[in-house]
Amino acid sequence: MHGNRRYDDCGTTRVVVGVSGSLGSLAALHRAAAEARRGGAALVPVLAWEPPGGELGYRRSPCPPLLTAARDAADQRLRDALDAAFAAADPGVPVYPVVVRGETGPALVHIADRPDDLLVLGHGGSLLRRGFRRAVAARCRREAVCPVLTVPAPPLQRELEALHRRTLWHLPIGHAPELAGTKG
């Protein structure tokens, strides 16, 4: 990484990518690195986080140690995602990782604030996450001042989702709690 230099003063075109650690976000991270290499841009992986229970919950019951733990966990999740994506290899471009407190969509739009930036988004995982990701992607496409590239789910993710759907639909109802790790 590049010492104390910040993503907003890197002095070059940027490829901003949303990262969560999911397979879809890792695919987006790889694509973003390829786009950055192709365009001679800096790579800005962004992980947005919120306090447990959300901002409203935190305002109702502030707990600074919990906030610090959540921030540290977000930092670690971004480091883990970068390690998983690049396996300690040099991605071939300057990398300026950013962990930001806030909702994902607004945070990404705020960081990718230059017309010559490229904002890269991955495909969400579960049906619930996918609904959330669609909302993030739609918001980014609507509000971003730069181009937005949505990377499709990698084949492994699609296969795992299909297997999960088949497994859930073919189990007797009494077996579903055992899948969730609870005994009925």
| pLDDT tens digit at each of 184 positions of the chain | 344 456 766 667 999 999 998 888 999 999 999 999 999 999 999 999 999 989 998 999 999 999 999 999 999 999 999 999 998 788 999 999 999 999 999 999 999 999 999 999 997 644 444 444 458 888 999 999 999 999 988 777 667 766 766 665 555 555 555 544 444 4
What is the predicted pLDDT for the residue at 22? 87
- The string of DSSP letters for the chain reads --TT--GGGS-S-EEEEE--SSHHHHHHHHHHHHHHHHHT-EEEEEEEE--TTHHHHHHHS--HHHHHHHHHHHHHHHHHHHHHHHTT---SS-B--EEEES-HHHHHHHHS-STT-EEEE---SSHHHHHHHHHHHHHHHHH-SS-EEEPPPPHHHHHHHHHHHHHHHTS-GGGHHHHTT---
What is the predicted pLDDT for the residue at 128? 43
What is the predicted pLDDT for the residue at 87? 86
Q: Which amino acid is at 101?
A: R
What is the predicted pLDDT for the residue at 126? 46
Sign of the dihedral through C-alpha 104, 106, 107, 111: positive
Domains, the chain: 10-153 (3.40.50.620), 155-184 (no CATH)
What is the predicted pLDDT for the residue at 129? 46
The string of pLDDT tens digits covering residues 120-158 is 999 764 444 444 445 888 899 999 999 999 998 877 766
What is the predicted pLDDT for the residue at 88? 74
